[in-house]
Amino acid sequence: MSLTQLEAARSGQITPEMAFCAEREKLDAELVRAEVAAGRMVIPANKVHLAGRLQPMAIGIAATCKINANIGNSAVTSDADGELDKLHQSLHFGADTVMDLSTGKDIDRIRKAIIDASPVPIGTVPIYQMLEELGGNIEDMKPQHFLDMVEHQAKQGVDYMTVHCGVLMEHLHLTTGRVTGIVSRGGSLIAKWMIAHRKQNPLYEHFDELCEIMRQYDVTWSLGDGLRPGSLADASDAAQFAELEVLGHLVQRSWQIGSQVMVEGPGHIPMDQIEMNIKKQIEICHGAPFYVLGPLVIDIGPGYDHITSAIGAAMAGWYGAAMLCYVTPKEHLGLPDREDVRQGVIAYKIAAHAADVARKRPGARDRDDAISKARFEFDWNEQFRLALDPERAREYHDQTLPQEPFKEAHFCSMCGPKYCSMKITEDIRQMADQAELVSLSTDGSVDLSTASRTN
């Protein structure tokens, strides 16, 4: 049987996937191997998907910060064509991975179409399809059902799977005082199963067998945070951290068995608690890559939660999260459509890039410096080209100054020609050179301790 990326890395091999990621990340291939071997980096690359279109993607603190876009239909709305369209939209604007969270009709067909079409890793939450097959009654699930479902999806080529193994019976009483209870869909389903059966979480009990399936296809774990907080009121509470301890143990077991693993995180967290949350997760989970959902830093922004969460996501990425799961403007309100996907992806490209810049990842600021130079030189087409969303930037510019001459104009409609500070700076630079400015600066130098009172 072939090795997982983790096993290969440990045995000293630089796989073609590691070499590809090293090239893409501008990192040394040996560094990539060492990070994968240490578990600090994952390359979610199901062998089936790898035989198809997949271009491997490295997720870990040594690589650039990644973003995931969630797509997938719900029972209420959307279909396969709509979801493929969202996949293309996600990729067009730069999603690094895509999760298919379909819970409606045609789950298998939609997933297959997405995997076939996708060059980026595809993630799923297998319990969703499980519930569909059970006709909506999670209580009817047998552990073997679930193992079969994971194997079924692994065979289809899913690169990483969110499984809620860390929600334990002994944690449930910690959630009863919460304002928003259990907000993870998978987490709440597992909790319901446990209470119905008065039995421990079967995904926890069968963790090792699940690892064996993961290992066979090299599916990467995304250990779900079933008890993540769904409101500021519930942030950083006992339930959240009790589960995190379990996830830390599961990371070690996964590594022992040879399957790759990353860990999911909250959710809703005020700004002042984000650093603590990230540091704690990295420590408790032994450096496994942290994959955060937002976090949203306030609760009162429905309709704008791509922004409330991009703030938290940028900070999380700066503090060390490896991947940011996007949130769209429709969060808490409805299923995202293609424009929501665009808004979500761009908000998260912003957050991830801000994190790369703040962490001073090599070359992170090059594109910023290039666009700033183009801005100063009034090279509008180059500004559009370097923008995260060139079409939108051009569209906004052209709303007021659509005519071709204005693509060369040394101003835009914000200030107009007379008030453009960059135009004025150009004038200044023609009026005096550096040497002259230096001489002027030493001429009549001012005593700052008292602003002079002249008339």
User: Which residues, numbered 83-142, are part of the site for a copy of itself (CB under 8 A)?
Assistant: 103-104, 128, 131, 136
Q: Within 324-343, which residues bind a copy of itself (CB under 8 A)?
A: 329-337
What is the C-alpha to C-alpha distance for residues 168 and 226, in angstroms, rounded to an integer?
A: 10
Residues whose CB falls within 8 Å of the CB of residue 304, separated by 6 or more in sequence, listed in order: 329
164 is a site residue for a copy of itself (CB under 8 A):
no
- CA within 13 Å, CB half, 284: 21
What is the C-alpha to C-alpha distance for residues 453 and 172, in angstroms, rounded to an integer?
A: 71
449 is a site residue for a copy of itself (CB under 8 A):
yes
Residues whose CB falls within 8 Å of the CB of residue 51, separated by 6 or more in sequence, listed in order: none
371 is a site residue for a copy of itself (CB under 8 A):
yes
184 is a site residue for a copy of itself (CB under 8 A):
yes
What is the C-alpha to C-alpha distance for residues 12 and 161, in angstroms, rounded to an integer?
A: 26
Q: Within 218-277, which residues bind a copy of itself (CB under 8 A)?
A: 230-234, 245-246, 249-250, 253, 270-272
Cβ–Cβ under 8 Å, residues 302 and 331: yes
Residues whose CB falls within 8 Å of the CB of residue 301, separated by 6 or more in sequence, listed in order: 307, 308
Residues whose CB falls within 8 Å of the CB of residue 125, separated by 6 or more in sequence, listed in order: 99, 101, 161, 162, 163, 185, 186, 224
Cβ nearer to a copy of itself, comparing 11 with 437: 437
Q: Within 185-204, which residues bind a copy of itself (CB under 8 A)?
A: 185, 187-189, 191-192, 195-196, 198, 200, 204
Cβ–Cβ under 8 Å, residues 382 and 409: no
CB of 57 to a copy of itself, least distance (A): 21
Cβ nearer to a copy of itself, comparing 1 with 454: 454
437 is a site residue for a copy of itself (CB under 8 A):
yes
Q: Which stretch binds a copy of itself (CB under 8 A): 22-30, 111-119, 284-292, 425-433?
A: 425-433
- CA within 13 Å, CB half, 105: 7
355 is a site residue for a copy of itself (CB under 8 A):
yes
403 is a site residue for a copy of itself (CB under 8 A):
no
Give the other-Cβ count within 10 Å of 99's Cβ. 26
Cβ nearer to a copy of itself, comparing 14 with 420: 420
Q: Within 23-52, which residues bind a copy of itself (CB under 8 A)?
A: none
CB of 153 to a copy of itself, least distance (A): 17
440 is a site residue for a copy of itself (CB under 8 A):
yes
CB of 420 to a copy of itself, least distance (A): 8
Q: Which stretch binds a copy of itself (CB under 8 A): 28-36, 40-48, 92-100, 380-388?
A: 380-388
What is the C-alpha to C-alpha distance for residues 320 and 40, in angstroms, rounded to an integer?
A: 11
Cβ nearer to a copy of itself, comparing 45 with 67: 67
381 is a site residue for a copy of itself (CB under 8 A):
no
397 is a site residue for a copy of itself (CB under 8 A):
yes
Cβ–Cβ under 8 Å, residues 44 and 119: no
Q: Within 284-303, which residues bind a copy of itself (CB under 8 A)?
A: 297-303
- Which residue from 314, 321, 323, 341 is in contact with a copy of itself, where contact means CB under 8 A? 314
65 is a site residue for a copy of itself (CB under 8 A):
no
Q: 344-356 in b/e burial notation, b at 16+ Cβ within 10 A?
A: bbbbbbbbbbbbb
Cβ nearer to a copy of itself, comparing 56 with 344: 344
Cβ nearer to a copy of itself, comparing 2 with 144: 144
Cβ nearer to a copy of itself, comparing 2 with 74: 74
Cβ nearer to a copy of itself, comparing 28 with 395: 395
What's the token pair of residue 297?
């830093």
Q: Are strands 41-42 and 59-60 parallel, antiparallel or unpaired?
A: antiparallel
Q: Which stretch binds a copy of itself (CB under 8 A): 13-21, 34-42, 151-159, 399-407?
A: 399-407
CB of 217 to a copy of itself, least distance (A): 20
Cβ nearer to a copy of itself, comparing 117 with 388: 388
Q: Which stretch binds a copy of itself (CB under 8 A): 20-28, 155-163, 179-187, 278-286?
A: 179-187
405 is a site residue for a copy of itself (CB under 8 A):
no
Helix (H) or strand (E) holding 310: helix 305-319
Strand-pairing partners, residue 41, are 60
Report which residue type is found at 50: L
Contacts with a copy of itself: how many residues (CB under 8 A)? 148
DSSP per residue over 123-185, as a string? Answer: EE-THHHHHHHTTT-GGG--HHHHHHHHHHHHHHT--EEEE-----GGGGGGGTT-SS----H
What is the C-alpha to C-alpha distance for residues 220 and 26, in angstroms, rounded to an integer?
A: 23
18 is a site residue for a copy of itself (CB under 8 A):
no
CB of 52 to a copy of itself, least distance (A): 29
What is the C-alpha to C-alpha distance for residues 226 and 221, in angstroms, rounded to an integer?
A: 14
